[in-house]
Structure 1
Amino acid sequence: MTLQIRPLSPHLGAEILDFDPREPFGEAAAQDVRDALREHRVLLFRGKPLTEEHQVRLTQIAGVLTYRGYGNYADPTKKSSLVSNAHEGGLFGDGELSFHSDLSFTPHILKARSLHALVLPSAEETGGETLFSNVHLAYEELDPALKARVEPLQARFVATYTFPDRTETVEFVRPLIGTHPQTGRRFIAASRAVTKEVLGMDRAEFRPLLKEIWAHIEQPKYVYRHRWQLADTLFWDNIAVQHARTPFDPNQKRALRAVSVDDPSIAVTAKQRAEATV
């Protein structure tokens, strides 16, 4: 089949008009979706309420379920997680989230993730939008002098998790500029949320450099801004794009269901996660 696609912006994203994740599909259709994901990096499926199983089946087009990370992302008894302030134990329920790629503070950035809108703020609420930046294109259009400067640099990517009884910090040193393992294209890995230090530089030198990179990838010409509707599903290549969230009224309920996938060689299975937590 040939997918009917409506571009979401000139530089990033596409709405898939004729593929219903609730219906059975074969390998040919799955390959069409993979091809669209590779080309457009962010896919929107609108107006289709998905069960967890529907969402898992769709997201596994890009990989296998993975239980890497912390919180309910890593719960081996669940296939999905909740980004929510409407459910007990929901993750990242409130507030603004700066640009980042999930699990970039680990040896392998998460391959792909989907979010499905379950509960949303009222129509009058303008916050809680999800932003995506095309960090392939942003890299390609870096000023040549800046590109040459950042190419050899390594940085510490750090995330801190707060639990009722402890705080845990996870970090990994990776290049500021990465290479996509599937496409071979270069991308900007440095993110406002988790890139904390450039190795070999003091703070007075690396902070202006990082701020220049962050300002570059956050330019509107690289960003698609998604205003959610109920039953929307966004499915994205988590290496080719960074994402962020605008703030919203914390008194407004908001819940999105997340499904995460990796390549089989990288994924942590439910069994492995369960054994690691015994």
Structure 2
Amino acid sequence: MATAASLARTGIEVVPTGAALGAEVRGVDLRTVDAAEFDRILAAWHEHSVLLFRGQGLSPDDLIAFSRRFGELDHAPIQENGRRFVEGRPELYVVSNVLGADGQPIGSLGNGEAVWHTDMSYLPRPPKASMLYALEIPPAGGDTHFASMHAAYETLPSALKARARGLMVKHDGTYNSGGFVRAGVTPTDDPRQAPGHLHPLVCTHPDTGRSMLYLGRRRMAYIDGLDLAESEALLDELWSYATRPEICWKNQWRVGDLVLWDNRCTMHRRDPFDAAARRVMHRTQVKGEAPPMA
């Protein structure tokens, strides 16, 4: 473990965004991160939840190697058009609207809006972190927004905080963030019958001990034990706090950007962009080490 003195000597500069979350990390090449630099990055990630590294020149293997510093990696998920990953590297998920020479998409999620969500929260043990690396970006649109679930919880009125504690929310597994039905799932209009998993509505971050809302996504969510109308009303009230502009930050992408976010305490969404423009991103996902805990 690096000492405070060695951390100060790394040359890394952490510049907070000024928003409720997020910081830019400067002065580091992610291809050659040493132990002291990684400790500095890890501490900044725990403090700010989302980190931006600009001007990186990462090969697929470089991105995988840096991502593995945070834990074991998931394979690319099966999305609306199957499993899209870099050939020979199943950990490297391709997010893109581009069509290949065969006329088939090279990636997933197209060019539409991706609604507010937490990655794969419908699983019993969701991933703890995700990274997205920009290879090609459109001239406008496609920006990614992040919301702090620590700040969302902290800004709840006291009575609403008390009501939320101890409740369990069902995280729906019917639709992905682009609104597409997941492979093998038959949609239903009743969130109580939809596939998914129950998690605490208020969780404790395993590394920092801070409390946070854990909402996942709004569509087809259900609060266990309530009648449907009461669940819908409570979720609407919670969501009215969860994505307020004052607890959000947006990254306007540049080629060479890598963004790392803590999937346990943030939500994110994507703006739509012109279907005729090209957007090619590589994403990795770090496996969760434990289920979300109250």
Q: How would you bin the TM-score normalised by the shorter chain?
A: 0.7 to 0.9
Aligned counterpart, 2:154: 140
Question: Structure 1 stretch 107-116 or stretch 181-190: which is displaced more?
Answer: 181-190
Residue of structure 2 in register with 1:240 after alignment:
265
* Cα distance change on mapping 1:46 and 1:165 into 2, 3 Å: closer
The answer to whether structure 1 residue 42 and structure 2 residue 67 are counterparts is no
Partner of residue 157, structure 1: 171
Output the CA distance in 2 between the equivalents of 1:197 and 1:265.
Answer: 22
3-state SS of the aligned residue for 1:33?
A: helix
Please name the residue that 1:117 is paired with: 134
TM-score (structure 2 length as normaliser): 0.81
**Residue equivalent to 1:82:** 94
Moved more, 38-47 or 165-174: 165-174
Name the aligned partner's letter for residue 200 of structure 1. Answer: G
Distance 1:143 1:249, change over 3 A: same
What is the deviation of 1:9? Answer: 2.8
2:235 equivalent to 1:226? no
8 A contact 1:11–1:221 mirrored in 2: yes
Question: Any conservation in 1 of the 2:21–2:50 contact (CA below 8 Å)?
Answer: yes
Any residues of structure 2 matched to 1:128-277 within 5 Å, and which? Answer: 128-160=142-174, 166-167=184-185, 170-193=195-218, 196-262=221-287
Stretches of structure 1 lacking an aligned partner (at least 5 in a row): 267-278
CA contact (8 A) 1:34 1:61 kept: no
Q: 1:63 aligns with which of 54, 60, 71?
A: 71
Question: In structure 2, the residue corresponding to 1:79 is in which secondary structure?
Answer: strand
Q: Deviations over 1:108-164 (max 9, x none)?
A: 221111001112112xx2x21101011012112211000111112112111226689
Q: 2 CA distance for matches of 1:244 and 1:15?
A: 19
Structure 1 residues 170 and 254: alpha-carbon distance in aligned structure 2, compared to 1, 3 A threshold: farther
| Residues 139 and 188, structure 1, Cα contact 8 Å, conserved in 2 | yes
SS of the aligned residue for 2:90 comes to coil
Gaps of 5+ in 2: 1-9, 100-104, 187-193
CA gap of 1:25–1:49, structure 2 versus 1, over 3 A, is closer
Alignment RMSD, CA only?
2.5
Deviation at 1:177, TM superposition (A): 1.3
Amino acid at match of 1:233: L
Q: Aligned residues: percent identity?
A: 32
What's the CA shift for 1:26? 2.1
User: Shift of the alpha carbon at 1:195?
Assistant: 5.5
Q: Does 1:17 align with 2:29?
A: no
Structure 2: how far apart are the matches of 1:165 and 1:38?
34
Residues 165 and 43 (structure 1 numbering): CA distance in 2 closer, same or farther, change over 3 Å? closer
Report whether the alignment pairs 1:105 with 2:117: no
Count of residues in correspondence between the two structures: 262
- Contact 1:15/1:45, CA 8 A, preserved across alignment: yes
In 2, Cα distance between the equivalents of 1:159 and 1:85?
23
Distance 1:77 1:243 in 2: 25
Q: For 1:73 and 1:252, locate their aligned partners in 2 and report how far apart those are by CA, in whole Å.
A: 19
SS at match of 1:160: coil
How far did 1:19 drift? 0.8
Structure 1, 70-79 or 106-115: larger mean CA deviation: 70-79
Measured after TM superposition, the shift of residue 39 of structure 1 is 0.8
8 Å Cα contact 2:118-2:217 kept in structure 1: no
Which one is further off, 213-222 or 200-209?
Answer: 200-209
The secondary structure found in structure 2 opposite 1:99 is strand
